[in-house]
């Protein structure tokens, strides 16, 4: 990772917008030193810190999580690289490796079913990426096709670590009190659908398995319209969850709130994957276990004999490449070349429309697109004016590395190095993790 200096604002030239969302936008950029493309994620520094009455400026919690996860994983061959961080007026800009495609594009653009060797290659690299994250005690919690990025040479890299958490080593089992309101609905594991707050790395494995199945089918396996429908679609195929096949499921917070008929498991081939081979389905079922404890770990799955049997995984340079249209800005979650979650919003469902719907609801639900745009423009103008006034009082904005102890936001015992923006007018407490 390069040294973080203010001069970096002149080094990277922003080009067209790639995506936008709740916290800012992502733009394609050019490194004036190397000439290479980068992804510039602009995160707005704004709003009052939670619990603060002095107007202290705060950063979204997701930004801290993403920075710390990328810092720890920056040497991973299958993780998007954080290249630089610098302040840009009222924004914090994350400079990330630009990747021109993702598995969402592969699934969307493929004209016919993918060869088994290609599916194996994508699957093994995805599982290897997860194994690397999990070996560093990091759970991603938002594995979906648009967050599984692809380089021009076919290398898979994980992006969007805005929901990632570093799990506590001290307990030894990788479990602690966690939010269940994570992961895009179609890829959300059953334990999260039942509102479990004590889950582990196997949650990522379920999500990866659904993606692998989607590569086989070229269509989503469990496209639920809401959480109840999502449960029903999963259990309709995998069978009803019972304490006999999933010990402890009846103790999960939402288990008793939903009642389903007695569903028996159905064949994946006859229901969802008519073109899959026996070996593919057998491997997939090792990952799609309702009981998290029975799923293969990512490391074991990546080293499974499935990848050693013919046809062997295709070499990355020979994989078909499906570039996304970089000229079109999109609010679809994560499809921005660097994982847009922390900087470009997030969707709770799979439709990618949550930000737009929230905007319409907050705006009274009417008035048309032009009126909504005008209202939002006026609001942003007021916010920008407020911050410009502050910047006039403190024109010099510096970036430094500041150690934070573990405040529960991250769990490892050693002090963590997080990026703290300081000026002579903005007190350091403005970036207190308790306030973001």
Active site residue 354: no
Same domain, 181 and 315: yes
Expressed in angstroms, the distance from the first to the final Cα of the chain is 25
Residue 366 falls within a domain, yes or no?
no
Provide the domain count of the chain.
2
Residue 145 falls within a domain, yes or no?
yes
Residue 369 falls within a domain, yes or no?
no
Per-residue pLDDT at 19: 79
Same domain, 91 and 130: no
Domain, as residue range, for 408: 8-98+376-435
Full-model pTM? 0.73
Same domain, 312 and 384: no
Same domain, 123 and 80: no
| CATH number, residue 264 | 1.10.510.10
pLDDT tens, the chain, 436 aa long: 554 444 777 889 888 888 776 677 889 999 988 889 999 998 887 655 444 445 555 677 778 888 888 989 988 999 999 999 988 777 888 999 999 999 999 999 998 899 999 999 999 999 999 999 999 999 999 999 999 999 999 999 998 888 888 886 554 444 567 778 787 899 999 999 998 888 889 999 999 999 999 999 999 999 999 989 999 999 999 999 999 999 999 899 888 888 878 889 999 998 999 999 999 999 999 999 999 999 999 999 999 999 999 999 999 999 988 887 643 333 333 334 555 443 333 333 343 333 333 333 333 333 444 544 555 455 455 545 555 555 454 433 333 333 333 223 333 333 333 333 333 233 333 333 333 2
Same domain, 84 and 135: no
Per-residue pLDDT at 325: 66
Per-residue pLDDT at 191: 93
Query: Of these residues, 31, 84, 88, 142, which one is catalytic?
Result: 142
> Is residue 27 a contact partner of residue 42, using CB atoms and an 8 Å limit?
yes
Same domain, 219 and 259: yes
Per-residue pLDDT at 255: 86
């Amino acid at each position: 990772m390069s040294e973080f200096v203010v001069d970096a604002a002149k080094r990277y030239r922003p080009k067209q917008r790639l995506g936008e969302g709740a916290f800012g936008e992502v733009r394609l950029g050019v490194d004036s030193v190397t000439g290479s493309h980068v992804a510039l994620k602009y995160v707005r520094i704004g709003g009052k810190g939670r619990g603060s009455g002095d107007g202290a400026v705060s950063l979204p919690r997701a930004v801290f999580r993403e920075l710390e996860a990328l810092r720890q994983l920056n040497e991973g061959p299958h993780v998007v690289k954080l290249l630089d961080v610098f302040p840009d007026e009222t924004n914090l800009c994350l400079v990330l490796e630009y990747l021109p495609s993702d598995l969402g594009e592969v699934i969307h653009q493929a004209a016919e079913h993918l060869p088994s060797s290609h599916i194996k290659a994508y699957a093994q690299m995805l599982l290897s990426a997860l194994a690397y994250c999990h070996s560093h005690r990091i759970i991603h919690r938002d594995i979906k096709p648009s967050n599984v990025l692809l380089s021009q040479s076919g290398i898979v890299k994980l992006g969007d670590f805005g929901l990632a958490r570093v799990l506590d080593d001290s307990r030894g089992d990788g479990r602690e009190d966690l939010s269940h309101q994570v992961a895009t609905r179609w890829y959300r594991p059953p334990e999260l659908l039942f509102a479990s707050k004590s889950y582990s790395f196997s949650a990522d494995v379920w999500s990866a398995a659904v993606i692998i199945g989607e590569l086989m089918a070229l269509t989503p396996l469990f496209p639920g319209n809401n959480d109840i429908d999502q449960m029903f679609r999963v259990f309709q195929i995998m069978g009803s969850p019972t304490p006999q096949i999933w010990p402890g499921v009846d103790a999960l917070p939402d288990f008793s709130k939903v009642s389903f008929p007695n569903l028996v498991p159905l064949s994946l081939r006859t229901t969802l994957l008519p073109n899959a081979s026996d070996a593919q389905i057998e491997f997939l079922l090792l990952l799609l276990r309702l009981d998290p404890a029975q799923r293969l770990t990512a490391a074991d799955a990546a080293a499974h004999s499935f990848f050693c049997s013919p046809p062997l995984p295709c070499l990355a340079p020979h994989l078909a490449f499906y570039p996304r249209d970089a000229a079109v800005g999109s609010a679809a979650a994560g499809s921005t070349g660097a994982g847009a979650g922390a900087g470009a919003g997030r969707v709770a469902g799979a439709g990618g429309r949550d930000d737009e719907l929230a905007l319409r609801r907050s705006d009274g639900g009417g008035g048309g697109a032009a009126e909504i745009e005008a209202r939002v423009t006026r609001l942003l103008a007021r916010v920008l004016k407020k911050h410009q006034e502050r910047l006039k009082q403190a024109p010099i904005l510096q970036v430094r590395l500041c150690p934070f102890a573990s405040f529960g936001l991250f769990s490892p015992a050693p002090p963590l190095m997080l990026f703290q923006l300081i000026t002579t007018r903005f007190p350091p407490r403005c970036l207190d993790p308790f306030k973001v």
